[in-house]
Amino acid sequence: AGGGRMIDRLRKWYYNAAGFNKLGLMRDDTLHEDDDVKEALKRLPEHLYNARVFRIKRALDLSLKHQILPKDQWVKYEEDHPYLEPYIKEVIRERHEREAWNKK
Amino acid sequence: KRFYSLKVAPKVASSPTAAKVKLSPESQDLEITKLPNGLVIASLENFSPTSRIGVFIKTGSRYETTSNLGTAHLLRLASNLTTKGASSFRITRGIEAVGGSLSVHATREKMAYSVECLRDYVDTVMEYLLNVTTASEFRRWEVADLQPKLKVDKAIALQNPQVGVLENLHAAAYKNALANPLYCPDYRVGKITSEQLHHFVQNNFTSSRMALVGIGIDHSTLKQVAEQFLNIRSGVGAPGAKAVYRGGEIRKQTGDSLVHAAIVTEGAVTGSTEANAFSVLQYVLGAGPLVKRGTSVTSKLTQGVAKAVSQPFDVSAFNVNYSDSGLFGIYTISQAANAGEVIKAALNQIKAVAQGGVTDADVKTAKNQLKANYLMSVETSQGLLNEIGSESLVSGTHTSPSAAAQKIDSVATGDVVNAAKKFISGKKSMAATGDLGNTPFLDEL
């Protein structure tokens, strides 16, 4: 139990050190857009997709002005949820299935 | 002298007890069971090397409402979408890998999902079939990608002018239910949501409205499958509205030089005694050419119209039966200039029959044609599957071909005359497409 909490604290420290939350971004906003991510993005429900676009636009604006958000608007480690992860998992599963079939 | 011809070939002694080679065991009888939840299971073990299994559901475009028109059409196209047990990719590849095929066939009142494959792979394709009919997920993005196919499907179907005329005919003849088009209306393409598909399936694909039919598979296997997997939704689901006949006309003016017109009245319900009379009347009047490029000598309609016009035309009797209504009448294809004469001549022929102008010989010929047509349609395994499935859905029983032939024989000439009288006196509906300058309106007939 103690070990678990250590890892958690490390994680939280690393999240804050990475700094993208100061631009108002969530972890899944920063993913590199390869083919799997692109396909998963196509499957996002509309409200999640619009929220993502807004966050990215805001972050681009801030970086252009060399600013960051005020501290109370930073994304908290606890509030950051991996919204895109289930879709990516499904896309990768489908791709593996296709590859397995094509190998046969 | 050489009498080669006189040399008799040595006689081959044919043994009277020569072993007969049996190609396959004789087909068993059709077995039919009805489960307590209403599902009907029918199977015919004919020991053929291929098996054909179908899931028939009593649903179709008539169960749509104005808020979800086109759902049944999209459902028809959605048979290969991802299900809970298999992804879309896997369904396609899996069925192809065993050399099978999955197809969906839908009418206004029933949908039939059927798979066929070599006997050894029945389990595999059956799994896919059950997945598709009971556990389809209708993923939002897959449904969205499918909608353009509605347009293509409709365009291909409408290349055949008959399809368009019949859609209009049903829309003109009925107020609801059966008036719904088989093909998605243009304004609904792109707007059908995954929720609507789910809703439609939840409300219509219930056990008591389904039948599982197999040809080339034994009954116990089918029964086991049905009890295990097709037991998901009980109840009757959403009841369809009763079709109300109204009798109207829809005319579509196009530039076509050929006018397609259909004029009908309310006909008979599937399975009623009247239905047989109307079918016989259909063949008395002429239900399509039996000899290619022939002159349809036995068709009263063709002969009657040929006397009235000299240009090419085609006319046949139109007959369709649904579970609570039917349509009977004529379908004409004529040159735009003499469409009126063709239609009037055809209607006069029916009037002649209604006034008793039909002989017993005519009726016998028609009965033979009808019987032959029916029996030939159930000779293919596809036709047979369809026939067994449709009948299981309607009544949960099966009429053997000989019993069906007997029913046809029991129609008397008087019944045929009465059917014709019903047409003459009934409220008419009409649909016409083409250059309609010379096509009469209903009140001018």
Contact partners, residue B154, CB within 8 Å, separation at least 6: B73, B183, B184
pLDDT of residue A99: 93
- Name the pTM for this structure: 0.85
pLDDT of residue B31: 85
Question: CB distance A43–B90 less than 8 Å?
Answer: no
pLDDT of residue B7: 59
pLDDT of residue B298: 80
Task: Find, in chain A, the residue whose alpha carbon is nearest to that of B97.
Answer: A101
Residue B4: pLDDT band (50, 70, 90) is low
For chain B, what is the mean pLDDT? 87
Pair type for strands B30-34 and B40-44: antiparallel
Q: What is the mean pLDDT of residues A72-87?
A: 92
User: Which of B87, B93, B140 is facing A94, going by the closest CB pair?
Assistant: B87
pLDDT of residue A88: 95
Question: CB distance B141–A45 less than 8 Å?
Answer: no
Q: From start to end of B282-439, where are the E strands?
A: 313-321, 326-335, 429-434
DSSP conformation class of B445: -
Percent of chain B past pLDDT 90, that is, above it, reads 42
> What stretch(es) of chain B map to CATH 3.30.830.10?
31-230, 247-434
For residue A33, give how far its alpha carbon lies from the nearest alpha carbon of chain B (Å).
Answer: 19
pLDDT of residue A67: 92
Per residue in B291-307, pLDDT (tens digit) is: 877 777 788 888 888 88
- Give me B39's structure tokens: 């599902």
Environment class of B187 (CB within 10 Å of its CB; exposed 0-12, middle 13-18, buried 19+): exposed
B247-434: CATH superfamily: Metalloenzyme, LuxS/M16 peptidase-like (3.30.830.10)
Question: Was domain B31-230 assigned CATH 3.30.830.10?
Answer: yes
Residue A94 has pLDDT above 70, yes or no: yes
Residue B16 has pLDDT above 70, yes or no: no
| Whole-angstrom distance, CA of residue B387 vs CA of residue B360 | 29
Task: Count how many domains chain A has.
Answer: 1
- Give me B184's structure tokens: 């998605």
Q: What is the mean pLDDT of residues B206-225?
A: 89
Residue A63 has pLDDT above 90, yes or no: yes
Residue B22 has pLDDT above 80, yes or no: no
For residue B96, give how far its alpha carbon lies from the nearest alpha carbon of chain A (Å).
Answer: 12
**Chain A interface, best mutation among B84, B88, B90, by max A CB count within 10 A:** B90
Question: CB distance B140–A97 less than 8 Å?
Answer: no
B chain contacts of residue A43, beta-carbon cutoff 8 Å:
139-141
pLDDT of residue B290: 80
Residue A3 has pLDDT above 80, yes or no: no
Per residue in B313-338, pLDDT (tens digit) is: 899 999 999 988 999 999 999 999 99
| Whole-angstrom distance, CA of residue B285 vs CA of residue B282 | 5
Looking at residue A39, which CATH number applies to its domain?
1.10.1090.10
pLDDT of residue B111: 92
Per residue in B249-282, pLDDT (tens digit) is: 999 999 889 999 999 999 999 888 889 999 999 9
Residue B236: pLDDT band (50, 70, 90) is confident
For chain A, what is the mean pLDDT? 92
Residue B12 has pLDDT above 90, yes or no: no
**Chain B interface, best mutation among A43, A48, A95, A99, by max B CB count within 10 A:** A43
Domain that holds residue A55: 2-103
Residue B357 has pLDDT above 60, yes or no: yes
Asked if A85 is an interface residue toward chain B (Cβ–Cβ < 8 A), one would say: no
Question: CB distance A101–B89 less than 8 Å?
Answer: yes
Contact partners, residue B307, CB within 8 Å, separation at least 6: B345
Pair type for strands B429-434 and B249-253: parallel
A chain contacts of residue B89, beta-carbon cutoff 8 Å:
94, 97-98, 101
pLDDT of residue B168: 93
Which of A 38-67 lie inside 8 A of B, CB atoms? 42-43, 45
Per residue in B134-154, pLDDT (tens digit) is: 889 999 999 999 999 999 999
pLDDT of residue A60: 95
Taking chain B, what is the end-to-end CA distance rounded to the nearest angstrom? 84
For residue A56, give how far its alpha carbon lies from the nearest alpha carbon of chain B (Å).
Answer: 23
